[in-house]
Amino acid sequence: MKHYSCDTVIIGAGIVGVSTAYYLAKHAPDQRILVLDAGQPMAFTSAQSGENYRNWWPHPVMTAFTDRSIDLMEQLAGDSDNRINMNRRGYVLATRSDDVDQLMTELHTGYSELGGNAIRVHDNAAAKSYQPPLLPEWMRAPSGVDVLRDQRLIRKTFPSYDPTLQTVVHVRRAGAISGQQMGQIMLEHFRQAGGIRVAGRVQSIKTGDGFCLELADGSVTAGQLVNAAGPFVNTIASMLGTALPVTNTLQQKIAFEDTASAIPRAMPFSIDLDEQIIDWDEEETALLADDPQFAWLTEQMPGAIHCRPDGGDDGRWIKLGWAFNNTESQPVYEPQFADNFPEIVLRGAARLNPSLKAYYGRLPRTMHHYGGYYTLTKENWPLIGPMAAEGSYVVGAMSGFGTMAACAAGELCACWVAGAALPDYAAMLSPARYHNAALMAELNAMSSRGIL
Ligand SMILES: Cc1cc2nc3c(=O)[nH]c(=O)nc-3n(C[C@H](O)[C@H](O)[C@H](O)COP(=O)(O)OP(=O)(O)OC[C@H]3O[C@@H](n4cnc5c(N)ncnc54)[C@H](O)[C@@H]3O)c2cc1C
């Protein structure tokens, strides 16, 4: 039986808890900080991330929040000789429609604070001011967004794409990082700053004068508590006698070696925005349609399937994902994945990159099929700030953006805990936003929540 005592305990050593520990150690160097996790650090949801980042959101608050996170990631990249493998070829949002008024409105809303030249529309093939994503380096890439509305320009820049595309939105402050390396760097600094890490599952919490956390073989007492339990934020919240408005949906991905060289290594993270009927052949369609369990696979599927090269310009692997699952589930530590997902995501992704058809029915045996939970609020904004029990805080509901937003989320939570100055977006990202009727009405009326 071991007993620990500290000023602040952080429950959860995923990327969000680790980042909170890192920034709290910076903001409050005199505090004794303890990070507690039932398993290894960075081993649950944070190990399943696609590790992509972007500052594109349909609302300026989320743009500002992720921009701050990208600033902080750039600092980490700069300070560590880019140990976090940050690159910036952008995000591409592609559609066969030339009626993109809605998308343009969202871009103008999301980037409204950036002003001036943030959104650049290219209507002809020459497009002299457009910089194609030739190089991976983040330092030299442009910011803002390029909207390509000329088919010759799209084909010249992105030759692997479906030739029927009409519009390509190229978000420039976007790319990939190694979330695992980022967590590792933060943990190293946290330990050097005197932070403590303990393995153990929180089974119950007593409140009163601070918090007493019961573990299977010990306990932790703390003056303040941070709930960074990822998909289990509500389990921890219920131990504190409260509830958070979050749900979990299981999302899957596949990664495999691109032995057929279907995807150019310089292709940005690419998202097909259009709905589609999956490309099954006639026989497959008939078989699926006859089976009530699988008939939905022959019907219209949502857009936002995504594909990117993985492992750098000299690598061979690619990653595909499609967050179409909306069914809420209770989180478990070892979720089961659908056997048919690899073929579903492959067929869906082949619509944007037809060369992927080379893998129909023959995905490499070394393919990795994995996934985890998007833990999210209805409006898909995070929850960062004080919870009901005095001295307790939450940093969670990080949906499909927890890797890219971890730095800003950890910094913000650290500011709340340390009583430091808060950024403008703090109140809107805290649980207190549910008392802001005007904001909630605006968020509930939004047609896009930025889920990819
Ligand atoms: C398939 C998929 C793809 C994704 N792709 C991207 C992407 O491209 N870019 C991006 O930015 N984000 C992405 N995300 C989202 C991102 O991975 C998550 O938002 C992020 O990892 C959440 O981190 P976390 O620290 O909140 O949770 P976790 O990593 O789950 O950490 C929570 C920790 O809390 C611990 N814990 C829980 N309960 C207890 C308890 N009772 N006692 C002790 N410890 C406890 C757990 O053991 C766990 O280690 C993706 C997510 C998924 C599922």
Q: Considering only 116-125, 231-240, 432-441, which range has the smallest mean pLDDT?
A: 116-125
Question: Could you tell me the pLDDT band of residue 188, with boundaries at 50, 70 and 90?
Answer: very high
Dist. CA 403 → ligand 1 center (Å): 8
Q: Residue 163: its pLDDT value, please?
A: 97
Average pLDDT score over residue span 163-175: 97
Question: Could you tell me the pLDDT band of residue 447, with boundaries at 50, 70 and 90?
Answer: confident
Q: Residue 307: its pLDDT value, please?
A: 98
For ligand 1, atom 17: residue with the closest CA: 49
Q: Over the stretch 344-403, which tens digit does the pLDDT of each residue have?
A: 999 999 999 999 999 999 999 999 999 999 999 999 999 999 999 999 999 999 999 999
Q: Is the dihedral of CA 47, 53, 59, 63 positive or negative?
A: positive
Question: Could you tell me the pLDDT band of residue 233, with boundaries at 50, 70 and 90?
Answer: very high
What token pair was written down for 142?
Answer: 């442009």
Query: Is the pTM for the entire model greater than 0.85?
Result: yes
At the fourth CATH level, the homologous superfamily of domain 2-51+179-245+378-445 is FAD/NAD(P)-binding domain (3.50.50.60)
Q: Over the stretch 9-54, which tens digit does the pLDDT of each residue have?
A: 999 999 999 999 999 999 999 999 999 999 999 999 999 999 999 9
Look at 73 and 110; give whichever has higher pLDDT: 73
* 371 CB near ligand 1 (under 6 Å): yes
Closest among 417, 348, 429, 430 to 31, alpha carbons compared: 417
What token pair was written down for 119?
Answer: 């959104």
* Sequence ranges of the domains in the chain: 2-51+179-245+378-445, 88-175+248-376
Q: Residue 166: its pLDDT value, please?
A: 96
Closest among 391, 409, 301 to 347, alpha carbons compared: 301
pLDDT > 80? residue 451: no
For ligand 1, atom 26: residue with the closest CA: 230
Q: Considering only 170-174, 264-268, 444-448, which range has the smallest mean pLDDT?
A: 444-448
CA of 200, closest atom in ligand 1: 43
Q: Residue 449: its pLDDT value, please?
A: 81
Rounded Cα distance between 452 and 450, Å, is 6
pLDDT > 90? residue 222: yes
Q: Residue 100: its pLDDT value, please?
A: 86
* 400 CB near ligand 1 (under 6 Å): yes
Rounded Cα distance between 356 and 445, Å, is 37
Question: Could you tell me the pLDDT band of residue 115, with boundaries at 50, 70 and 90?
Answer: confident
Percentage of the chain beyond pLDDT 70 is: 100
CA of 52, closest atom in ligand 1: 8
Rounded Cα distance between 354 and 24, Å, is 47
Average pLDDT score over residue span 165-193: 97
Q: Over the stretch 271-311, which tens digit does the pLDDT of each residue have?
A: 999 999 999 999 999 999 999 999 999 999 999 999 999 99
Q: Residue 109: its pLDDT value, please?
A: 87
Residue-averaged pLDDT of the chain: 96
* 69 CB near ligand 1 (under 6 Å): no
Q: Residue 288: its pLDDT value, please?
A: 96
Question: Could you tell me the pLDDT band of residue 1, with boundaries at 50, 70 and 90?
Answer: confident
Average pLDDT score over residue span 135-160: 94
Quick one: how far is CA 42 from the chain centroid? Answer: 14
Look at 434 and 102; give whichever has higher pLDDT: 434
Is residue 54 a contact partner of residue 171, using CB atoms and an 8 Å limit? yes
Is residue 236 a contact partner of residue 202, using CB atoms and an 8 Å limit? yes
Report the 3 state secondary structure along 108-159: HHHCCCCCCCCEEEECCCCCCCCCCCCCCCCCCCCCCEEEECCHHHHHHHCC
Dist. CA 383 → ligand 1 center (Å): 14
pLDDT > 90? residue 450: no
At the fourth CATH level, the homologous superfamily of domain 88-175+248-376 is D-Amino Acid Oxidase, subunit A, domain 2 (3.30.9.10)
pLDDT > 90? residue 116: no
Q: Over the stretch 57-101, which tens digit does the pLDDT of each residue have?
A: 999 999 999 999 999 999 999 999 999 999 999 999 999 998 888
Pocket mutation for ligand 1, best pick of 37, 187, 197, 307 (most atoms within 8 Å of C-beta): 37
Average pLDDT score over residue span 102-120: 86
